[in-house]
Each structure stands twice: as structure tokens, then as C-alpha cells.
Amino acid sequence: MLAGYTLRHPDTTFPVFAFRLHQFVSRGKTVYASLEKGDASYVTTSGQQYVPGDRDRVLMPLAFCRNCGQEYHTVTRVKDAESGDTLFQSREFTDTHPQGKAQVGFLYPDAPGVWPDDSRDRITDLPEDWVETKDGTLQVKRTHRDRLPELVHVDGTGKKVKDGVRFFYLRSPFTFCLHCGTTYSGRQKSDYGKLATLAAGGRSTATTVLSLATLDSLRR
Ligand SMILES: [Zn+2]
């Protein structure tokens, strides 16, 4: 490639082959994880439906809070017409218009002491436009009650069960991070500016990576 670049076209005097370096620097891949917590969770960047050799453990894409880095499984929530079960299914972060009645949302892996089972115990930490003062006490607005983080127990396949791993389900648009408390106005419909995936990137990402690598090698 360098040889092609140093060789000049006799008529135009331009390099006969001008390559774009950024096209050789790839962005990251989506990270997938099974529905367990911490070290028990299987994490991979190779896109597949299940943990290899275990069809009882589904893999779901992860998105990360842009402020604190907390991970969220990106899911859709559906009700199975036959069994009546509530199912959480894998969803790519950018897929915000699922088929049928599926609801777009996120699963937050519960950690002890971070968020209470009943969100009203942390009412002052909820987004301002979710609460109002009625008869002298702070209350969650009626219109926002179905947006509160919902405690769910989930098995490895994503089915809501009685005894499973504890998660909080949040509906999209993402309105606040349960881990760091960053809140967003309900008017910000897109989740892109609030959560990031490792697969997000463009020309500027490549430039940033190359600039940092250059500075680092100059220093050495
Ligand atoms: Zn956060």
C-alpha cells in the first residue's frame, strides 16, 4: 500500500493508490451476556443466541450507561399468547421498533442496596417530572407509575419466574440510570445519547484511536 502511495500518476501527479487508513481500524463488537450476575454471567463478543452447549441460557446484548458504565441487557418484553408467560427476549440496541405488541426496554442486574424493591422508598431520586406534591406529600404521578423500575425474577431463558435472578425492568426511553442516578427528560426519546454499545463507532472513533496510539508511541 505504501509503494502504491509513493508512486505518482504521470498525468495527474497524484498517488496511484491513496488508501484510507481509518478503514483498517474497526470499531468494537456488541457484547453479549447471559442472564446471571457478575462472574456467573457468560460474556462474549461473538454474536450467538445461546451460551455454547447450553440452550437454557440465552445471550442478550449489553448497552452501557454513558455516565458510569453500568451495563443493561437490551430486551423486548412480550406476553406469550398461549402460556401467558412474560418473556424477555434479546434485542439489538438499535432495534427500537419490534414486531407486534413487544415492548422495548432494559434489564438491570440488581445489586444489593443499589435500588429498593419499592421505588417509592427512593422517591426523591426519581426524575423530577415523575413526581408531584399532593396533600403535602411527594407522590409518583399516576401517568408515570407504569414507568417505575419493576423488580422481576428471570430464569436463564429470559422467562419471568417466581424464583430466578433478580433484575429491574425499565421501559424505553431510558429515563434514569439506577446505578449512578443520572436522569433524562422524558422528551429525549432516543436512547443513543444515554447508553452506548461497544459496536457504536464511526470515522471519528478511528481517528481518536489512531491519534491516541500515535501520541502513545511518540512518548515511548
Ligand atoms: Zn449510570
136 alpha carbon – ligand 1 mean position (Å)? 31
Q: What pLDDT shows up at residue 112? A: 85
Measured in Å, residue 69 CA sits from the centre of ligand 1 at 6
Residue 175 Cα to ligand 1 midpoint, Å, equals 11
Question: Which pLDDT band, with edges at 50, 70 and 90, does 201 fall under?
Answer: low
**Could you tell me the distance, in angstroms and rounded to a whole number, from the CA of residue 66 to the centre of ligand 1?**
7
Set of cell numbers at residue 209: 484511536
Share of the chain above pLDDT 90, in %: 57
Using the mean position of ligand 1's atoms as its centre, give its distance from the Cα of residue 54 in Å. Answer: 31
Q: How remote is the CA of residue 70 from the centroid of ligand 1, in Å?
A: 5
Q: Cα(62) to centroid of ligand 1, in Å?
A: 14
- Confidence at residue 87, expressed as pLDDT on a 0 to 100 scale: 97
What DSSP letter does each residue of 93-126 carry, written as one string?
A: TT----STTPEEEEEEE--TTTS-SSGGGGGGGS
Ligand 1 centroid to Cα of residue 64, in Å, is 8
Tell how far the Cα of 75 is from the centroid of ligand 1, in angstroms: 18
Taking the centre of ligand 1 as the mean of its atom positions, its distance from the CA of residue 120, in whole angstroms, is 20
- Which tens digit of pLDDT belongs to each residue from 138-154? 999 998 898 899 999 99
Q: What DSSP element (H or E) covers 86?
A: strand 86-90
Residue-wise pLDDT tens digits, 25-46: 766 678 999 999 888 899 998 8
Give the pLDDT of residue 13.
92
For residue 25, report the distance from its CA to the centre of ligand 1, in Å: 28
Q: Residue 9 pLDDT > 80, yes or no?
A: yes
Could you read off the pLDDT of 63-75 as tens digits, one per residue? 999 999 999 999 9
Whether 189 contacts 173, CB under 8 Å: yes
**Run of H or E residues at 218:** helix 203-219
What local confidence, expressed as pLDDT, does residue 83 receive? 94
CA distances from 162 to 67, 102, 150 (A): 33, 22, 14
List, for residues 146-181, the tens digit of each pLDDT value.
Answer: 889 999 999 999 999 999 999 999 999 999 999 999
- Domain ranges in the chain are 60-200
Higher model confidence: residue 4 or residue 209? 4
Give ion ligand 1 contacts, CB < 5 A: 65, 67-68, 70, 177, 179-180
User: How many angstroms is it from 180 CA to the middle of ligand 1?
Assistant: 4
If you measure from the C-alpha of residue 168 to the centroid of ligand 1, how many angstroms do you get, rounded to a whole number? 14
